[in-house]
Structure 1
Amino acid sequence: MGNRYHYLEELEDFLGGTFHQDISSPQQALDEFISEVTKECLLSTIKDCEELLNSDVTHQEKEDFIQQHAEVYFPESELTPLQWLCKIIEQMREAVKTK
C-alpha cells in the first residue's frame, strides 16, 4: 500500500477491531474504545478518519471502505456510512477534551 495509504491500514484496524460482529451496539463499542485508549491514540484515530474523508477517492469508495470494515447496520442508524464516520469523529473529538 505504501506510506501514502498507511492511514487506511490503521483505519481498517480501528473499524474492524472496534465495530465487529460481537459488539452490543456501535455506540457501546465506541464508548469502550474511547475509555480504553490514550488521548494520543484518539488523536491518531481522528487523523486517520479525516485522511479518508479528505482523500481523493470517490464518495462511493469511501462508503464502501467503511462498510467493508465496520460491522454496522447503517439503515438502523439512519445515517450513511460517511455521516456515521463523521459522527464518530465528533464524539472522539469531544472525548479528547476530557482525557
Structure 2
Amino acid sequence: MYENYDTLEELSDFLEGTFHQDMGSPEQALKEFIDESSKECLVFTIKFCEEFLNENISDQEKESFIKSYTEIYFPAIDLTPLQWLKKVIIEIKEAI
C-alpha cells in the first residue's frame, strides 16, 4: 500500500494535517491523531518520520522543515523541533 511514497511529502502532510493552527495543543493533536488512526497508519507514520531523521541533510534543515509545516512555538514547549519529533515517534510507538 505504501511502497512508492515521498518521505518529505508524507511528513509534511502529517505535520500540516495534525499540528495546525486550530489544534488545542500539540499533545492534544497527537492524541487525536493516534486515537483516530489505524495501527497500519501509525506504523507507516513512524517509518517516514524515522526515515526523515536519517536523511542526509543538516539538523538545521530538518528543524526548518518541521517548523515550516507545524503551528508549534517550540520555545514554549522547551524542545527543539528535532527533539519534539523524536518524542512524537516514541509516543506513537507506545500507543501501538
CA deviations on 1:13-46 (whole Å, 9 max, x unpaired) are 0000000000110000000000000000000000
Residue aligning to 2:53? 53
Instruction: Measure how far apart 1:7 and its partner are.
Output: 1.0
Q: 1:5 to 1:65 in 2, by over 3 A?
A: farther
Any stretches of 5+ residues in structure 2 without a counterpart? none
- Report what 2:79 is aligned to: 79
Task: Figure out how many residues of one structure are paired with residues of the other and give that number.
Answer: 94
Hey, what does 1:88 align to over in structure 2?
88
Partners of 2:93 and 2:30 in 1: CA distance? 12
The 5 Å alignment of 1:1-99 reads 6-96=6-96
SS at match of 1:24: coil
Tell me how far 1:5 sits from its aligned partner. 7.2
* TM-score for both structures, normalised by structure 1: 0.91
What amino acid is the match of 1:62?
Answer: K
- Give ranges in structure 1 of 5+ residues lacking alignment: none
**AA paired with 2:12?**
E
Normalising by structure 2, we get a TM-score of 0.94
Identical columns (%): 60
